[in-house]
Structure 1
Amino acid sequence: MSDKPEHDQPMPLVSHLTELRTRLLRCIAAIFIIFAGLFAFTQQIYTLVSTPLREYLPVGATMIATDVASPFLTPLKLTMMVSLFIAIPVILHQIWGFIAPGLYKHEKRIAVPLLVSSIFLFYAGMAFAYFLVFPLVFKFFAAATPEGVAMMTDISSYLDFVMTLFFAFGVAFEIPVAVVLLVWIGIVDVKYLRKIRPYVIIGCFVVGMILTPPDIFSQTLLAIPMWMLFEIGILFGSLVSKNKRGDHPDEQSERDNNAQPPAPQA
């Protein structure tokens, strides 16, 4: 039995564009439905996100709003970003629904775990940033404030800062998925990844130095998880490489048959 895509019939370009538009509209609708449900809680959401900073503000200090509309627009902007993050499973499901018909069965077997793990790892990176990195960062900033300077952070600037870190840590935690994809596609092999391990470790500490305060503890706190995630990616990449070499003789025989010229007819 050959390992063919389930829908092997070609589709017109217009049909592809129509399906793409439908799935994009579903993604946008999911984001706005979630936003509508969270709209009444915009102030509470901002209060929750700003907690790691407010806990380390000096006694009597508060966050400030330097723009007239910031007290209303900044929580609204945060709620929209939260809606986008919550809708990521729906967005990835729509992407999967668009590309899945053109995949082989063995490709689907590896794509589904990658899809699920990418969602989990992205949320894990955000949680890691909120519960572990933010307290360290803001504690350092509060302690480093010069004497005679009042630490009063603008709410809009704070939002930009934490959203950048949320996204950075969410993407950084996708390292295992990226490693497995690179091995699966054939861009790199596991032997090469093991060979460059020392450079990857150095790169992890460089990233930790950039994204965290300049102390060895917080840098290590980010660098070591990134290194461990890289090692997990190598582990699963080796499994994918083994399966890729030996599990699909039907597909290879199909390609060989297609490459043979037709037998002459008597």
Structure 2
Amino acid sequence: MSDEPADDRDVEGPAEPREDPDEHRPSAADASEPASESDAEPSEDGDADDPNLETDGEGVVSDRHNPEPTYPDPDDDIGGISTPPDDEEMPLADHIEEMVLRLAVVLLFGAGGTAIGLLWASDAIQFVWFNVFPAGGDAPPPHVYNPLELWLTRIKISSLLGIMVALPAFIYECYLFMRPGLYPNERKYYLAAVPTSVILGALGMVFSYLLVLPILFEYFTYYAEASADIQYALGDTFNLIITLTGFLAIVFQIPLFIMLAIMLGVTTRRWLAQKRLYFWAAFAALAFAFTLDPTGMAPILVAVTMILLFEGTLFILKWVGRE
């Protein structure tokens, strides 16, 4: 017997089965079938082999190139809602504190104007007294019925100057309070309202002094002189003068409020015109509530003035084509 193997197959191990190349070739029928879920979804091992991902050996931990999720900018338009550029949330306590501080600034301006007005209060009392009565130089002299009446009247008439100084300060402080929630175009409108408010307030006081008060005291004198000896009390008379003058200074802000509301998109001229009867009723109620005159003459004059200002503003808006 020979020592050489008769065949190489006796020396080599069992032959590995050969794969037929056509065995795994997809047929036309297999190509038409949709891929299974396991074929469509990448495996976790495949994701873990991605060099852009970090793993802990059990799964994907984070993306190396984008470790933190991104969120939309709060100032962007999200879902159709946009916010002003400086708008930010604040606790309610901070809002209340800011409002109180700004109100204190307004009161400080008003007190400063009143203090300055005290320097010329006596001259102002004499000037007003002898010009609001229709008799001119023959106006009935004022009467003082308690020791503090003259001093209180001086403070009251000085408060008119305080109102004129505090009114624009009030509007400007309101602007600073609302500024973070306003868009740039809204801020422009509001800033333009400050000098306009001063002018309208001064016009209201002049209107009261030149027209309303003379008519009112002529009416008082006419119905009282036939049956009584007229002696006007200094304090009560100036209570009516100051209340009416200050109230008309505020009433003359109606055109400004209407213009701001329309420019800011709060309302429209057409809607105001449709609801004019409700506004007329509100004007009459305010006039009778804040004008202390049991005869009804002063409230009627104030209510008519408010209605004329309202309708005049609507007419101007319609004339310029603003609906």
Q: 1:7 to 1:95 in 2, by over 3 A?
A: same
- 1:61 corresponding residue in structure 2: 140
Q: Distance in 2 between matches of 1:35 and 1:114?
A: 23
For residue 211 of structure 2, the aligned residue among 132, 135, 157 is 132
Q: 1:54 to 1:139 in 2, by over 3 A?
A: closer
1:26, CA displacement in angstroms?
A: 1.9
Contact 1:53 1:135 (C-alpha < 8 Å) held by counterparts: yes
Contact 2:205 2:246 (C-alpha < 8 Å) held by counterparts: yes
Q: Distance in 2 between matches of 1:228 and 1:140?
A: 24
- Give the structure, 1 or 2, with the largest relative contact order (CA under 8 Å, sep 6 or more): 1
State the secondary structure of the residue aligned to 1:10: coil
Q: 1:113 to 1:11 in 2, by over 3 A?
A: same
For residue 155 of structure 1, the aligned residue among 222, 225, 234 is 234
Residues 92-130 of structure 1, C-alpha deviation per residue, up to 9 Å, x if partnerless? 212211111221123223333344433322321121111
- 2:313 corresponding residue in structure 1: 232
Q: Distance in 1 between matches of 2:249 and 2:227?
A: 36
1:166, CA displacement in angstroms?
A: 1.5
Any unmatched runs of 5+ in structure 1? Answer: 243-266
State the secondary structure of the residue aligned to 2:132: helix
1:200, CA displacement in angstroms?
A: 7.9
Alignment of 1:44-193 (within 5 A): 44-54=123-133, 56=135, 59=138, 61-147=140-226, 149-181=228-260, 183=262, 189-193=268-272
Alignment of 1:201-220 (within 5 A): none
| TM-score under structure 1 length normalisation | 0.69
1:19, CA displacement in angstroms?
A: 2.8
Q: Distance in 2 between matches of 1:180 and 1:140?
A: 35
Q: Distance in 1 between matches of 2:139 and 2:312?
A: 46
1:201, CA displacement in angstroms?
A: 10
Q: Distance in 2 between matches of 1:44 and 1:161?
A: 19
More helix by share: 1
1:187, CA displacement in angstroms?
A: 6.5
1:239, CA displacement in angstroms?
A: 7.4
Q: 1:102 is aligned with what amino acid? A: G
Residues 163-218 of structure 1, C-alpha deviation per residue, up to 9 Å, x if partnerless? 22213322332332343355457665433433456x489869979x9789999xxx
Give the 4+ runs in structure 1 shifted more than 6 A.
200-207, 209-215, 219-222, 237-242
| RMSD, matched Cα | 4.0
For residue 38 of structure 1, the aligned residue among 109, 117, 121 is 117
State the secondary structure of the residue aligned to 2:147: coil
Contact 2:121 2:155 (C-alpha < 8 Å) held by counterparts: yes
Contact 1:6 1:104 (C-alpha < 8 Å) held by counterparts: yes
Residues 132-151 of structure 1, C-alpha deviation per residue, up to 9 Å, x if partnerless? 22222222322333335222
Any unmatched runs of 5+ in structure 2? Answer: 1-75
